[in-house]
Chains A and B, each alone.
Chain A
Amino acid sequence: MSLARPPRPAHTLFQVCAHDFMNGVGAWSGGAGTAWPLANLALFVPFSVSVPCTAFEGWVSTGATAGGNFDIGVYGTDGTRLTSSGATARTVSINQNTTTMTDLNLVPDRWYYMAMAADSTNNYIATVAVAGLQEAQGVCEMAAAYVLPASATLAKTTRAYLPQFGLNFRTTAL
């Protein structure tokens, strides 16, 4: 039996999303506006790239109700922060791009973590697959991690929550 190869995240596109690296977890039910599970919590999603590319900014799909701030960044597997946007005021109900992240050149043959932290329990578009399925994809977390720290101590996640967020590979995000 010949099996067609499922699509891999295509880094010739302009964005990647955390869900691209989740092997379908969360895709079975779709995303909806859901409260960030814990104020000042950070979530870390492992990813890699197949070609050299540059992450210029981050992005997240925000939910309804005004307020809150978030921070998006990239870490190495040793917990060292490689770049981040810093505190970004949340705008409701849009696909919001950060504007203050230092460009980061990503290379193949290594793992990274894309990270997001939020300072309150405002809504973001997220999927809520069972926590163990998130954990099984390597998702990590750290409490009291807003803004994203220079050095993170990663723990396996226990959250049934994955926001729709990622990185922009276009110099000017649309």
Chain B
Amino acid sequence: MTYSAPDPSYMPPILLSTLSMESAGRIPVTRLTAPVSAVWSATNRIVYVPFYLNRTVTVYKLWWLNGATVGTNNLQAGVYDENLARVIAGTSTLSAGTANLCQFDDITDTVIGPGRFYMALWCNGTTATVFRNTAGGVGVYVQTAAGGLPATATPAAIGGGGGAPIPVFGLSLRSSP
């Protein structure tokens, strides 16, 4: 997948996510279709979504947007560099909190960028729900891993073409709220 980088003078979004133009927001199916609450697509599946940073940033938190059902599965978010090495690992956490709101993982503040990365989200079951697009996105990859996010990613294309459904998750570049 090739794409034009965002204007270098633009700040990335304060909550950079799979909806952002720095990431899958560039893909028509993402921009034109409202994400909906849906169960995770496969047990122990990791979804890798590419994103680009035009500058150095500090990542304060990782987050995902829970759907209508919480409290039944664990999720873990992370970030990989373009060599597929994990550079940020969140904590495997039971989905919790108010349905249809974001859940935040307060990681050790980490400086990354500029460059190309993958944000990754793993879930250990298919009963918890997250907001996601129902259709897949080209350039989005998957991996099955029982223990959560591996130190080195081995992403693969999902079968059938079109890419994996894209969950709504991302990075918080602000320390609060």
Contacts and interface: CB of A to CB of B under 8 A. Distances in A.
Contacts of A136: 15, 17, 19, 63, 65, 102, 131, 168, 170
B177 A137 contact: no
A155 B176 CA distance: 8
Contacts of A35: none
B1 A3 contact: yes
Interface residues of B, number: 40
Contacts of B176: 154
Contacts of B13: 21, 23, 46, 137-138
A132 B19 contact: no
Q: Is the interface of B mostly helix, strand, loop or mixed?
A: loop
A8 B6 CA distance: 9
A51 interface: yes
Given A5-B21, A109-B11, A158-B101, A24 B31 contact: yes
Interface string A139-174: 010000000000000111010000000000000000
Nearest to A142: B177
B26 A140 contact: no
A51 to B, nearest CB: 7
A4 B2 CA distance: 10
A28 B100 CA distance: 18
A21 B98 CA distance: 25
A129 B138 CA distance: 25
A24 B174 CA distance: 21
Question: Which of A5, A25, A136, A138 gathers the greatest number of chain B CB atoms within 10 Å?
Answer: A136
Contact of A138 (B15, B25, B65): B15
A133 B15 CA distance: 11
Contacts of B65: 132-133, 135-136
Interface of B: 1-4, 6-7, 9-11, 13-15, 17, 19-21, 25-27, 30-35, 63, 65-66, 98, 100-102, 131, 138-139, 168, 170, 174, 176-177
Interface of A: 1-6, 8, 21, 23-25, 28-29, 46, 48, 50-51, 77, 108-111, 129-133, 135-138, 140, 154-156, 158
7 contacts: A1-B2, A3-B3, A6-B25, A132-B66, A136-B102, A138-B15, A154-B177
